[in-house]
């Protein structure tokens, strides 16, 4: 159990366009999901905590208008990179947790390339 599906796995877009990434918990409900960014050869950096039915909580230094997060249901959170630029190219990963006594389950990640 505890499977998180992330889509798409990779995307190439032009500068100035927006890209939406979906994160779904397939077999459990997640009131909270998390979005991370992983730069090459670096660790995962938490971008924001996505709360179902309310606004996301962003980490310091993350532009909330740039990275729009919506958590419309207990099984779906989306991250939209708006007006993407080449420096937004990265590996984006979502995760969800079944409950406080469980570990975090990660999606397979989305590699975004902005050209």
Partner 1 sequence: AQSVSQHNHHVILSEAASLELGCNYSYGGTVNLFWYVQYPGQHLQLLLKYFSGDPLVKGIKGFEAEFIKSKFSFNLRKPSVQWSDTAEYFCAVNSFQKLVFGTGTRLLVSP
Residues that bind partner 1 in the complex, under the rule CB under 8 A:
32, 34, 36, 42-46, 49, 93, 95, 101, 103-109
Please say which residue, 82 or 113, places its beta carbon nearer to partner 1: 113
Please say which residue, 24 or 107, places its beta carbon nearer to partner 1: 107
- Cβ 105 to partner 1, closest distance in Å? 8
- Cβ 25 to partner 1, closest distance in Å? 14
Please say which residue, 21 or 93, places its beta carbon nearer to partner 1: 93
Query: What is d(CA 99, CA 8) in angstroms, rounded to the nearest whole number?
Result: 26
| Selection from 98, 105, 107 nearest residue 79 by Cα | 107
- Cβ 54 to partner 1, closest distance in Å? 14
- Cβ 59 to partner 1, closest distance in Å? 8
Please say which residue, 82 or 106, places its beta carbon nearer to partner 1: 106
Task: Specify the 3-state DSSP secondary structure of 82.
Answer: coil
CA dist list (Å): 115 to 17, 85, 92, 106: 10, 8, 17, 27
Contacts of 6 (CB under 8 A, 6+ apart): 21, 22, 23, 24, 93, 94, 107, 108, 109, 110
């Amino acid at each position: 159990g505890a499977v998180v599906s992330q889509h798409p796995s990779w995307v190439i877009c032009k500068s100035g366009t927006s890209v939406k990434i979906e994160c779904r918990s397939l077999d459990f409900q997640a009131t909270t999901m998390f979005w991370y960014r992983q730069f090459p050869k670096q660790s995962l950096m938490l971008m924001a905590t996505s709360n179902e039915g309310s606004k996301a909580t962003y980490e310091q230094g993350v532009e909330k208008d740039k990275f729009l997060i919506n958590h419309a249901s207990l099984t779906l959170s989306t991250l939209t990179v708006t007006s993407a630029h080449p420096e937004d190219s990265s590996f984006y990963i979502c995760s969800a947790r079944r409950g406080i006594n469980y570990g975090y389950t990660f999606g397979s990640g989305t590699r975004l390339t902005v050209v």
